[in-house]
Chains A and B, each alone.
Chain A
Amino acid sequence: EPEVTQTPSHQVTQMGQEVILRCVPISNHLYFYWYRQILGQKVEFLVSFYNNEISEKSEIFDDQFSVERPDGSNFTLKIRSTKLEDSAMYFCASRISGSGTDTQYFGPGTRLTVL
């Protein structure tokens, strides 16, 4: 069964460093998302992406964040200068279409630890 994959599973970085989190959505999906879950808290929406552009973003997704689909398969989230409070689990998700009945399928997540 097709699934969303994410790499790495765990990333440790120093404060101020840039990180890139990678996702490979399900191949025929068209809508892509990033979410964040700080330890012990709920999942928070960061950004949605369709047709090679951001369609919606939350207030969390400030200028330190960017997303890109550099080729036909990868979908990346970049944090330019990490802060301690960026430590969280980051989930990528994808959907096949914009239809109201389609669900999002989540990847296994990348745990980011900022020291």
Chain B
Amino acid sequence: AQKITQTQPGMFVQEKEAVTLDCTYDTSDPSYGLFWYKQPSSGEMIFLIYQGSYDQQNATEGRYSLNFQKARKSANLVISASQLGDSAMYFCAMRETRDNFNKFYFGSGTKLNVKP
């Protein structure tokens, strides 16, 4: 089974509107972390936001928020007020904690295009 599933290979959003990128995960570990990374066309991986499995509140970082629904095992990224510079690939990732070393799993990504 896939550890991380991103079902939207591509998304379009109008500039200044909000967009939700979907992510579901699969783990039996009680302690895990969920991450979103942005990969612009230049190729680097930029950390956006983190949600811990025990966190009671949804994580927020500026225009980014993570809609964490633990029972559904989903961790959707919400980008508010989209900007042209948000056009990029977005990867959801999960860290499982085993023996303190932690292994990351990445989804297949969602390519977001922001239209002017």
Given the interface contacts A43-B91, A55-B101, A95-B102, does A100 sit within 8 Å of B52 by beta carbon?
Answer: yes
Provide the B99-116 mask, 1 if CB < 8 A to any CB of A, else 0.
Answer: 111111111110000000
Assess whether A7 is interfacial by the CB under 8 Å rule. Answer: no
Partner of B103, one of A42, A45, A106, A107: A45
Q: Which of B16-24, B39-47, B62-70, B75-83 contacts A (4 or more CB under 8 A)?
A: B39-47
Give the most central of B99, B101, B109: most A CB within 10 Å: B101
- Residue B50 contacts which of A31, A103, A108 (CB distance < 8 angstroms)? A103
Interface residue total, chain B, C-beta cutoff 8 A: 29
Cβ distance A33 to chain B, nearest Cβ, rounded Å: 7
Shortest A37–chain B CB gap in Å is 8
Q: Mark A90-104, 1 if CB is under 8 A from B, else 0.
A: 010101001011011
For the complex, give the distance between the alpha carbons of A48 and B103 in Å: 8
Give the interface of A toward B (CB within 8 A).
31, 33, 35, 41-45, 48, 50, 55-56, 89, 91, 93, 95, 98, 100-101, 103-109, 111
Q: Chain B: residues with CB nearer than 8 A to chain A?
A: 31-33, 35, 37, 42-47, 50, 52, 91, 93, 95, 97-109
- 5 closest residue pairs by CB, A with B: A106-B45, A98-B100, A43-B106, A55-B101, A108-B44
